[in-house]
Structure 1
């Protein structure tokens, strides 16, 4: 036999690109060995699994091969299940059954069941289960384990448990799959019971359980399990750090990261991005800077995901300039990198710069995705760039053939609504090709709140009540609109309705980083040393603002039917004022005070921040629920358009 085909096979191991693989394919065609099932199977395997963006070619190769075998079909099924279109695995399995005499084997069912799980199709999963029964694979350990996992992934924990109970000797993967299924359905109690019933556990089991607790927000249980683990590997540390960060336990996330360093372990990509995510959410820029230095010294600054996390961290902590420096120094920029930079500029109100970065991205040949356009439309809506926003919305569909999602439609409603074109916003909602969901109506309600349109607000609230009757934010918005209009009877009706339905208003809080420690302030919270210090400093600040800045409380911001004096008292206790005052008390040498807030900043606080920046010659950066406000010398970056 000619040695060329075998030489080509040996080249497969080093083949990394579509172009190189096609060259090997061409060599096989020249020698005539492309029609040999062994070599054809190897080709399909590398096209479908090894080389990215070559699945379409693998499918063509399979369809042109005269008598494909089970290995070839299984390879294509596997390739699709790991792609963005796992449903094509199911279609390939159907083709296998209809167009050939090849019988599926255990690998066929394991791969296609995993595809049904990834696609989230319980109906397809049940049909495949029936096929497995017909072909006698229901008792196969590998297939049975995948069935348990599939039912769990598709939200049918009852079937998952039943199948598990019927297994004669479930392996470790089956045990892990069944308590993971419980977690997916929110049944934490069952997950714990099954976990502690396991006759044997390894580090994978412990980490799966740890991840389940973290995803469910049960961080106290996660922490307890973590310290019970005899062996803690990279996955364990990454899971606990990311879990605390994603659940808002920022100090704990930072503490675990420091502990990771203290025990002499090297943080991996996941733990670094996890703790940077915590810095982003908490606004902990000083800790973020320390991590940046650590990343540079550790020699991991080449990792794109870590750089993306740094860009996001700096942008969300109010240092969009530093975000730009990191972005420009990146050796490789992914679509996430470009989108993160665009989003960062958008949050800071730099809409024109965001559009310029987008144009640069296009010039580099990077194709934008749906998220990129969400960030661009968000930038336009927060800067009042209506024409540019409409143009980008059309461009998304006409140039890039990206079908708008509910997020894009929401941005367009926001674009019109913020600018005061409420009727145009309502008409846009009415003409949408998809049914408007709660996000769309809530966006319109928010615009009505800004511009005081009671009639349209009531209409939007009625639609929201049909979709999400238990959401407190909608009732609060409507109540606020009535309060601004002085309709106190209507305010009382809405709040009484909230009490009857046991709907609680989300309390406002603000956070500030001082000496790498996060301090959280809540209006009218119980007194402690930090709040006492904040109130004392705030009293001094407000007195000076009245004298030197001409401050007059905007009592219209108080949405309660009380006298003027009490309204002023309520205004003075807003959490962002307390956080800024505490920062000014502790950070006397700093020229920038950074605060993160969970709700939208009120007009009175906005005015106070502008006056503080002018009277005290400080720069204040406040990140509220929707954007950044950078106050400097008596003005704000939002130009009072927010």
Structure 2
């Protein structure tokens, strides 16, 4: 009865019955002690465990292998790993079950290297690991994250002929998945003698994490042909694959399957679907899913707010925050704060930015790096670079994003010399500038007309740091030269870097020609842009403006008529009027 209670989760009832048994004068046997130990393990009471150990010694059951194994396992599960290991060391000839319990207990207490030490002692006891042993030790491999060790354990699984065990094969597959070794995982999956839903889910998840989204969807189609039923884990991975691909049609199909299979109310899955629609640019569908959720978590609100920000709906994001504060009792976390501060920066909303900054202090996130970087960016985009720098100075620990953000902030506000000074300070420190750093400082030079400084920095990037220039880097340099009237230098630069520059460099040259009314060169640049981007209209508008500025009105009119005939419509300009006084509490 005691063992039955304990095995079925009625741990306290098992212990109460044991107390009644003792009061009645019955002497417990080994089977009774195992049941009581299972009960103690369930309630995780180390003090009671020590008391029972004394009773086990008193009744002469300490040498019983089954009782001893249960005792050390109970100690380990209660967090008393020291006494568990002492008990193990006192055992003369531990069985494989005992060793497995000790290895499992050490892993449960995150003593992974010690678990391997016991594992290596198996041969000294004349024992060979079985599938239970390997399942436990693979968990230690995953925690240590060492490929060589993992390959060694995999080799032992093969050598011991344990590959036919589906649970063990899945564990090996998961081990390589955690290491993100796609090649090894694919080999394991392909050669599995039999597979189950866990095998397919693990493989699909790995493909999504390593951004092989097409392959993940193809594998799902194969899985469907075999006849496995869908679960939420598979569906979440498929939704993420659709988000990676921006495949709205497939995303809607997966969403429909989640509803058909009865997972429409699953909160984590709904959160993934909201994020997927937002990544695909369909924020309307994101909001529909959000509104239909019967219960929302903080992540639900965060994902929806982030979705609005990603799709240019900064005001909608801030309004949703106000709605959350009215309807829910959630505390804003760093992830949500980062999205909201990005929204403030996009609309240059200083007032909500200050309110959120106040909340940062009240919530204890003043030294959260993600929040601090977002604050620096938001204040800079609001035009208050001094406030941005104050936050930057207060950071106890900066990363490369921090430096890139403050350099970019000074650049967009026209403080090119300060941006260069910060760039040099960064180089003197521990952070090495990356491609984004160089783009930020080049942009700062461009905005401030610091052409010689910009050219010197670009040269350093290419020749000293060996960073390959992107289309954005090249476009920035061309724009910098062209704005300064150095169109011949800009043309010479294009001749060297035209392969990697794309349409960016020609559009930048066209912009410079517009400033300096160079029609011949402008025509060449416009033709190149049209050749690379036949659908755009901005280059034609710029060329038309150049013709008009030098009195060639007929040419300008012909160009505009050609645009109309080809269906190239100029997007109308829009302004945002900041006339709100938000209050987010």
Assess same fold via TM > 0.5: yes
Residue 487 of structure 1 pairs with residue 555 of structure 2: no
* 1:4-49 CA-partner distances (Å, limit 9, x unpaired): xx99x9799889xxxxx9xx99xx99xx99x99999989975664x
> Which blocks of at least 5 consecutive residues in structure 1 are unaligned?
16-20, 49-57, 74-95, 119-123, 519-642
Q: Per the alignment, in what secondary structure is the counterpart of residue 411 of structure 1?
A: helix
- What is the CA-CA distance between 1:315 and the residue it aligns to? 0.3
Residue 421 of structure 1 pairs with residue 486 of structure 2: yes
- What is the CA-CA distance between 1:146 and the residue it aligns to? 4.7
- What is the CA-CA distance between 1:362 and the residue it aligns to? 2.5
> Which blocks of at least 5 consecutive residues in structure 2 are unaligned?
1-84, 90-101
Residue 171 of structure 1 pairs with residue 235 of structure 2: no
1:144 aligned to which of 184, 197, 200: 200
Q: Per the alignment, in what secondary structure is the counterpart of residue 504 of structure 1?
A: coil
2:263 aligned to which of 200, 217, 220: 200
Residue 299 of structure 1 pairs with residue 364 of structure 2: yes
Residue pair 2:185, 2:203 contacting (<8 A) in 1 also = no
Partner of 2:566: 501
Write the distance in 2 (CA, Å) between the matches of 1:516 and 1:71.
Answer: 65
Write the distance in 1 (CA, Å) between the matches of 2:461 and 2:108.
Answer: 39
Partner of 2:507: 442
Deviates more, 1:306-315 or 1:241-250: 241-250
Write the distance in 1 (CA, Å) between the matches of 2:550 and 2:582.
Answer: 41
TM-score scaled by length of structure 2: 0.68
Partner of 2:297: 233
Write the distance in 2 (CA, Å) between the matches of 1:433 and 1:479.
Answer: 24
Q: Per the alignment, in what secondary structure is the counterpart of residue 500 of structure 2?
A: coil
Q: Per the alignment, in what secondary structure is the counterpart of residue 229 of structure 2?
A: coil
Determine which structure has the larger helix proportion and give its number.
2
- What is the CA-CA distance between 1:102 and the residue it aligns to? 9.7
Q: Per the alignment, in what secondary structure is the counterpart of residue 315 of structure 1?
A: helix
Q: Per the alignment, in what secondary structure is the counterpart of residue 501 of structure 2?
A: coil
TM-score scaled by length of structure 1: 0.63
Partner of 1:257: 321
Determine which structure has the larger strand proportion and give its number.
1
* 1:351-397 CA-partner distances (Å, limit 9, x unpaired): 11111112222233122221111101111122222221122122224
- What is the CA-CA distance between 1:230 and the residue it aligns to? 1.7
Q: Per the alignment, in what secondary structure is the counterpart of residue 152 of structure 2?
A: coil
2:402 aligned to which of 316, 337, 358: 337
* 1:547-591 CA-partner distances (Å, limit 9, x unpaired): xxxxxxxxxxxxxxxxxxxxxxxxxxxxxxxxxxxxxxxxxxxxx
Write the distance in 1 (CA, Å) between the matches of 2:440 and 2:339.
Answer: 22
Residue pair 2:503, 2:533 contacting (<8 A) in 1 also = yes
Cα 1:475/1:324, change in 2 over 3 Å: same
Highest Rg: 1 or 2? 2
2:439 aligned to which of 356, 364, 374: 374
Aligned CA-pair RMSD: 4.3
* 1:138-170 CA-partner distances (Å, limit 9, x unpaired): x43233235555388434687356235324222
Write the distance in 1 (CA, Å) between the matches of 2:173 and 2:499.
Answer: 36
Partner of 1:186: 248
Q: Per the alignment, in what secondary structure is the counterpart of residue 578 of structure 2?
A: strand
Write the distance in 2 (CA, Å) between the matches of 1:258 and 1:438.
Answer: 42
Q: Per the alignment, in what secondary structure is the counterpart of residue 248 of structure 2?
A: coil
Write the distance in 2 (CA, Å) between the matches of 1:66 and 1:11.
Answer: 16
Cα 1:259/1:384, change in 2 over 3 Å: same
Question: How many residue pairs were aligned?
Answer: 462
Residue pair 1:179, 1:194 contacting (<8 A) in 2 also = no
Residue pair 2:306, 2:339 contacting (<8 A) in 1 also = yes
Q: Per the alignment, in what secondary structure is the counterpart of residue 503 of structure 1?
A: coil
Write the distance in 2 (CA, Å) between the matches of 1:353 and 1:470.
Answer: 39
Deviates more, 1:162-171 or 1:350-359: 162-171
Write the distance in 2 (CA, Å) between the matches of 1:239 and 1:143.
Answer: 29
Residue pair 1:157, 1:182 contacting (<8 A) in 2 also = no
* 1:263-293 CA-partner distances (Å, limit 9, x unpaired): 2210111111111111110111111111111
Cα 1:360/1:499, change in 2 over 3 Å: same
Partner of 1:214: 278
Residue 69 of structure 1 pairs with residue 153 of structure 2: yes
Q: Per the alignment, in what secondary structure is the counterpart of residue 68 of structure 1?
A: helix
Residue pair 2:385, 2:413 contacting (<8 A) in 1 also = yes
Write the distance in 1 (CA, Å) between the matches of 2:561 and 2:568.
Answer: 10
Write the distance in 1 (CA, Å) between the matches of 2:137 and 2:262.
Answer: 44
- What is the CA-CA distance between 1:415 and the residue it aligns to? 2.2
Cα 1:164/1:257, change in 2 over 3 Å: farther
- What is the CA-CA distance between 1:426 and the residue it aligns to? 1.7
Q: 1:292-371 counterparts in 2 under 5 A?
A: 292-371=357-436
Write the distance in 2 (CA, Å) between the matches of 1:72 and 1:353.
Answer: 60
